[in-house]
Chain A
């Protein structure tokens, strides 16, 4: 839910609630005041009748004035004296209409007789007044709601624009590029602050990225140099050529270990680079072409182990780094060869959505840790980084890599993101 929508909702609900309460209170008060006034008028009239009766010793004529009627009724002498206001109806004699009215029933004593006097006044005018007040209140409510809506619709959207511009800038932010997050010019402090902070953060991220990049480079350099020395000294030692068989075997072991160490180091650096998105030469790659090339490149290995290749490739182009694509395919191919059985099979299929590589092999039991670093089967000669690297590469491009085992068949499936 957008902030403005949420704000609108609260605002409108509160407005409606307040206005309704105000309306009701307004109505009740006005009603009370008008009824009081009517009652006072009725009391004044009653007073006049009393004075008239006591002065002239007779009742005034039960005439009807405008909106006022007086009527008399003889009561029994011992009837209780009443004085009572009530809501009644008022019949307009001229227009023959029944209108709401207010009556005062009281009694006067004339010559020892008790006479009930009923004074009725029409309430039409006060009711009209109340109605008009109610309508005005309702009208004001509607106008307030409409103006709130319009403000939200047009003013708020414009007010929030700098926010969305900054948000967009942050979304499109790339560490490798140097452009700043553009700000929509605004006089609103919060948005200016937001933009400044976003840019400061971007700058810091860029700085960290730069430091990380140079650290990676330096670490690689510092560790590779001693390795290069060991390697070159081994090569030089080999030239002296006066070894016993035993010394030769020792040398071979050192060679293997050194080779392993440098490959391990390169793999770790590569992983760090992929994780930090330091490889950014994405380009269009003809995957079918590349896989066919890989099959040719691995042909010797397939032949050595008597592996049968079944390839079913359809056209597919994707956006990714050629270097990483090469590594990904290398890893999957060597995996399929390394964990195969002599005379086994490899199936490779490429469709618009998925790349599947499956191979025959032994039954194994580890599935969930397969893509973890340094996880490998005991017989494996690899370093246990190949699949971790493959997974990182897939993550980088939004592909999804999964592993499935059905008896002796091991299948890796890469769900390729739709071409973008």
Chain B
């Protein structure tokens, strides 16, 4: 994946860069409007992470510029503004998704992966991890060609973990992803455990290795043993 991060907050940008770099991803960054529009014009990206509040320009204008250039880059808006108008304006201008600060890096990664998958729909609609295959278009999971029947939540959890493979994903992030932050179930993660347990069981019964590990009770990691 080739990703452009447009973010003026240095610390936040560094975290994102670090999280996305590796595993064949190429990450570039721009911290102001001028640099960002130059990069957008010169190169093509699989996904652009766009912070709306830039010091020298309105992020939404970059969206219209992209449209004018007839580029097919995926765009994920990152904004501190929780206002509905901005969300709608962004999506109207051709953004693919909208994420409100603060967010979990794992959530960001999952959404970027989803955008990139959608953009490259012609070929790559199967996520493969060793013997595990997920057909995203048909929502089917198989382990070494044995079909695995998952519930909707288990399926979403698996996609989320696969998007963040080899990363530690916190329980908070999983809870917010599966149930949304509005449900306000703060500090109550028992039910995540149930889903993790069921997912592990179903995958190993179908013959997959145990890729899912709990990390110090804070979170989970799905990846190479």
- Quick check: A386 and B184 within 8 Å, CB to CB? yes
- Quick check: A249 and B168 within 8 Å, CB to CB? no
Produce 1/0 per residue, B174-208, CB < 8 A to A: 00100001111111101100100000000000000
- Quick check: B104 and A231 within 8 Å, CB to CB? yes
- Quick check: B81 and A231 within 8 Å, CB to CB? no
User: Which residue from chain B places its CB closest to the CB of A222 in the assembled complex?
Assistant: B80
Minimum C-beta distance from B127 to chain A (A): 21
- Quick check: B172 and A225 within 8 Å, CB to CB? no
B65 within 8 A of A: no
CA–CA, A414 to B12, complex, Å? 43
Contacts of B100 in A (CB 8 A): 224
CA–CA, A239 to B215, complex, Å? 10
CA–CA, A301 to B218, complex, Å? 21
B39 within 8 A of A: no
- Quick check: A326 and B83 within 8 Å, CB to CB? no
B82 within 8 A of A: yes
Q: Which of B15-23, B90-98, B116-124, B134-142 contacts A (4 or more CB under 8 A)?
A: B15-23
Contacts of A225 in B (CB 8 A): 9, 12, 80, 101
Within B131-179, which residues are at the interface with A (CB < 8 Å)?
Answer: 153, 167-168, 170-173, 176
- Quick check: A259 and B172 within 8 Å, CB to CB? yes
- Quick check: B102 and A245 within 8 Å, CB to CB? no
- Quick check: B12 and A228 within 8 Å, CB to CB? yes
B1 within 8 A of A: no
Contacts of B187 in A (CB 8 A): 256, 260, 381
A217 within 8 A of B: yes
- Quick check: A233 and B186 within 8 Å, CB to CB? no
Given contacts A238-B168, A238-B170, contact A232 B80 (CB under 8 A): no
CA–CA, A239 to B19, complex, Å? 9
Contacts of A231 in B (CB 8 A): 102-105
A251 within 8 A of B: yes
| Most chain A CB inside 10 Å of its own CB: which residue of B12, B102, B218, B219 | B102
Given contacts A235-B19, A238-B219, A256-B186, contact A228 B80 (CB under 8 A): yes
Produce 1/0 per residue, A241-262, CB < 8 A to B: 1010101110110011011101
CA–CA, A165 to B3, complex, Å? 59
Contacts of A263 in B (CB 8 A): 181, 184, 186
- Quick check: A217 and B102 within 8 Å, CB to CB? no
- Quick check: A233 and B15 within 8 Å, CB to CB? yes
Contacts of B218 in A (CB 8 A): 238, 248, 251-252, 255
- Quick check: B172 and A255 within 8 Å, CB to CB? yes
Given contacts A238-B170, A300-B191, A330-B184, contact A229 B12 (CB under 8 A): yes
- Quick check: A334 and B185 within 8 Å, CB to CB? yes
Minimum C-beta distance from A357 to chain B (A): 16
Contacts of A224 in B (CB 8 A): 80, 100-102
Given contacts A243-B216, A248-B217, A249-B217, contact A235 B170 (CB under 8 A): yes
Minimum C-beta distance from B32 to chain A (A): 16
CA–CA, A330 to B80, complex, Å? 23
B42 within 8 A of A: no
Contacts of A383 in B (CB 8 A): 184, 186
- Quick check: A381 and B83 within 8 Å, CB to CB? no
What is the interface size of chain A, counting residues whose CB is below 8 A from a CB of the partner? 54
CA–CA, A278 to B81, complex, Å? 13
- Quick check: A241 and B102 within 8 Å, CB to CB? no
| Most chain A CB inside 10 Å of its own CB: which residue of B16, B53, B84 | B84
Given contacts A220-B81, A236-B105, A381-B188, contact A255 B9 (CB under 8 A): no
A208 within 8 A of B: no
User: Which residue from chain A places its CB closest to the CB of B188 in the assembled complex?
Assistant: A381
- Quick check: B102 and A248 within 8 Å, CB to CB? no
User: Which one, B9, B106, B172, B191, contacts A229 given CB within 8 A?
Assistant: B9
Contacts of B176 in A (CB 8 A): 259
Minimum C-beta distance from B194 to chain A (A): 8
A369 within 8 A of B: no
Minimum C-beta distance from B151 to chain A (A): 10
Given contacts A232-B15, A255-B172, A256-B187, contact A330 B83 (CB under 8 A): no
- Quick check: B102 and A227 within 8 Å, CB to CB? yes
Given contacts A225-B101, A382-B184, contact A239 B167 (CB under 8 A): yes
Contacts of A220 in B (CB 8 A): 80-82
Contacts of B182 in A (CB 8 A): 326-327, 330
Contacts of B186 in A (CB 8 A): 256, 259-260, 263, 381-383
Contacts of B69 in A (CB 8 A): none
User: Which residue from chain A places its CB closest to the CB of B105 in the assembled complex?
Assistant: A235
Contacts of A48 in B (CB 8 A): none
User: Which one, A235, A301, A327, contacts B104 given CB within 8 A?
Assistant: A235
A187 within 8 A of B: no
- Quick check: A304 and B18 within 8 Å, CB to CB? no
A16 within 8 A of B: no
Contacts of A110 in B (CB 8 A): none
Contacts of B171 in A (CB 8 A): 252, 255
Produce 1/0 per residue, A307-323, CB < 8 A to B: 00000000000000001
B225 within 8 A of A: no
Minimum C-beta distance from B177 to chain A (A): 13
CA–CA, A252 to B172, complex, Å? 9
| Most chain B CB inside 10 Å of its own CB: which residue of A251, A281, A297 | A251
Further 9 A-B residue pairs, CB within 8 A, beyond A221-B53, A232-B11, A259-B176:
A225-B80, A233-B11, A234-B170, A255-B171, A259-B186, A260-B186, A270-B82, A326-B182, A381-B187
* Among all A-B residue pairs, the 4 with the closest Cβ atoms: A248-B216, A232-B15, A224-B80, A228-B102
